[in-house]
Chain A
């Protein structure tokens, strides 16, 4: 057991971890189950979280690697009374079918929009290349994400 400290959803937190513990498992055993597991080896994106502003697959990250960093998870970006615009857009566009991929999609898109608020379709296509959805065919996900870009808002 060793202890690490990092900023989780805006608060500094310390956790005891196993040396080979994956960050995804640490999150989920700590009650943050919004981050999902779909493949366990970095190929589906359902475990996407934001570390120091970058979208990463938490299933291929060791917990010790986040020591001292700033981490955002799906639970930290919105709630029923104040959902993140991406969460509202996904819900309203019909982009949430089974919803299992949704937190990962939202986090990947948020990382992009934080960097590039006017991201266009090509940016989303490239940036979300690691996120699988088997339910929606991506059409409504794309529509939802684009509606949150400053570019799209300026046009409409």
Chain B
């Protein structure tokens, strides 16, 4: 790879907001709460499926300190989706601000805004509700059975884009793709596998729960400050849900305390906006941790059937994946998540005969939503475990088997065109792929050469090695759009206004680096302001691994335009042609000669002196490719065969993200995603009682790893240069979370011969496996 001389890009500079946050300066929604804000609390349904037969809010309304009570009887009934996606949304319209039908334990019944939390809580108790309890759908496989209770029986529910949708059968979406002749491919194989896998419920757990506030300003506009990944979609959907014009809503995203997809969703904002309008006071709503677990969003649990056929020489003859996805009480992101099970995973291996089906069903359980990995996580578990199983059957090392079959630079896959996000995809050839080097580097680091089959292992404590290969995408091609505005100030600094949304990833820093590199100046000269629908240009928001690749190109474009303006003014001041000067270290300098003018002199001249104008511009960008980042993950575990306990000894993630614009932040994305994936694989789980109520909604019973549990972790960035990306960059934020389930699952098998096809990988399951009574794969 050609060595490039970057000045700002590819350098581990201090993240621009790091010190502000480390000092504890007021930065998040909760820190900005006005003193007189009313507190919102929500009464929620105790039943998984029920109809409200009577509700009386009068006593609550009359309590001193209560300013408003909202319920289905006094708010607009406008059907919409809570999914923060582009318009028209691929998610069905199946949600109301409030409804008389309850669809899960935790569904909204009525909201109170009161002067204190205590009053609000007391008011909730004063609301009298009677329910007619309905039979509920509590298992994914029951949803489409003959005679199953219909969850969305309201007439308004519908799909807004032309996709299969059958609410009478609880089907929220369906997608099919067949390439070649799958059955023929299976018949040609020397060995086949055909297994069921289950991806369990899990949650993002941002340490800051969902939180929003709103007030009505003197011009009668609703100003919403909220912890969101999608300020512009939020503005649009809130306006829609309240039945008011978009121009009456302003959405501001301050710093946010983690999102991971959870905040690509309108969870609180419609209610805070409605309350602000109703009370004419600032209102504030923050989820408790318990509410976050139950009523926010989860990873779509999926039951999968994976089939692979291979020849003895290692050729893959058939690849088939059927996904039954549980979208819970609403269909948010159901279709697109399941599409990604196919489109972000199956192209990884070359194969002529491919079958894919995704069916998304409603249940009376918590709703799925966007979650880092977005379907690729679920499918990678099934595919990468099954790859190991086929490799074993044909007697190949799983690493060699993958190395032989994975997609390479110059390859394409028919899947890219066949499967997009809720519609046809976009053809693309892979232009950068260093997966082979990722595999090599990771294998060396974990010590793959010493790997032995489990049958050779003896003793109580047995170690095993496992691996997985991964891909993702970078933005949604021909759908996502990002934009940036850049203007120059008289000291030679610049305001960079971004629609893009930094949710802690460091995208403000990464995008400022791209601007500084293009302008020929330092990072300190870039003042970033992002995610305010009144002030910044549009951006779809932080999802689909789009920000660096897509918004980065918008920033690069606008910075190039501004650089041209600077060169023109600089040339005029130096009495040269623009072609005779260049930018360098915040100056315009003559190419052949001594003359130079600083950015500050240029800005002053353009503001106050001659031919005055504002140096600045706006640029927007859509992309036609979604170059995948690639990764190879390796895990080493130790299994205690007496108790079944699994200890993760070491985890290695080698990733190709193109040019890492900020290497430390890129590593941080990998490490954070991997750790999230590790705890999902090892400990995280939703427990439900037989009435559909989650019984462990707290960090005490829903265990996340802490520093104490950190295994030896090694991140290896294997650079490539993606020529369509800004300074060669692709994405990195999501891919890392897809590896731990299969890599650890494969390592457990290699240690002790127990193949776990559902998580989490508890001691109990391993022990059952060791004793030959592993229960069949099923949902919670």
Contact = CB atoms under 8 A, between A and B. Distances in A.
Interface of A: 28-29, 33-41, 43-44, 46, 73-75, 78-80, 83, 87-88, 90-94, 96-103, 106, 124-126, 128-142
Contacts of A99: 17-18, 20-22, 27, 255, 257, 504
Contacts, number: 186
B28 A138 contact: no
A77 B78 CA distance: 50
Interface of B: 12, 14-15, 17-28, 30-31, 35, 204-209, 255-258, 260, 288-289, 503-506, 664-665, 667-668, 670-676, 698-700, 704-708, 710, 713, 715
Contacts of A133: 207
A135 B503 CA distance: 10
Contact of A102 (B21, B31, B503, B713): B21
A138 B134 CA distance: 45
Nearest to A92: B14
A83 B20 CA distance: 10
A33 B30 contact: yes
A71 B257 CA distance: 25
B21 to A, nearest CB: 3
8 contacts: A36-B30, A44-B289, A44-B699, A87-B19, A126-B708, A134-B205, A134-B676, A136-B675
B31 A134 contact: no
Contact of A44 (B27, B207, B668, B713): B207
B751 to A, nearest CB: 23
Contact of A135 (B19, B668, B713): B668
Nearest to A129: B708
Contact of B256 (A98, A137, A138): A98
Contacts of A79: 23
A100 B207 contact: yes
Contacts of A131: 706-707
B504 A128 contact: no
Given A36-B208, A102-B22, A137-B674, A94 B664 contact: yes
A132 B704 contact: yes
B706 A94 contact: no
Given A97-B672, A140-B664, A91 B14 contact: yes
Given A38-B289, A74-B24, A94 B710 contact: no
Contact of A125 (B12, B31, B665, B708): B708
Nearest to A145: B707
A74 B22 CA distance: 8
B699 A34 contact: no
A122 B504 CA distance: 28
Contacts of A96: 15, 17-18, 21-22
A83 B23 CA distance: 7
A35 B208 CA distance: 12
B257 A142 contact: no
A33 B24 contact: yes
A46 B26 CA distance: 14
Contact of B675 (A75, A91, A137): A137
Contacts of A90: 18, 22
A96 B205 CA distance: 17
A145 to B, nearest CB: 8
A17 to B, nearest CB: 14
B23 A34 contact: yes
A37 B675 contact: no
B257 to A, nearest CB: 3
**Taking each of A80, A134, A136, which has the highest tally of chain B beta carbons within 10 Å of its own beta carbon?**
A134
A97 B504 contact: yes
B16 to A, nearest CB: 10
A151 to B, nearest CB: 17
Contact of B257 (A41, A94, A100, A141): A100
**Taking each of B17, B504, B505, which has the highest tally of chain A beta carbons within 10 Å of its own beta carbon?**
B504
Nearest to B22: A87
Nearest to A106: B22
B668 A136 contact: yes
**Taking each of A37, A97, A98, A100, which has the highest tally of chain B beta carbons within 10 Å of its own beta carbon?**
A98
B15 A135 contact: no
**Taking each of A100, A131, A141, which has the highest tally of chain B beta carbons within 10 Å of its own beta carbon?**
A100
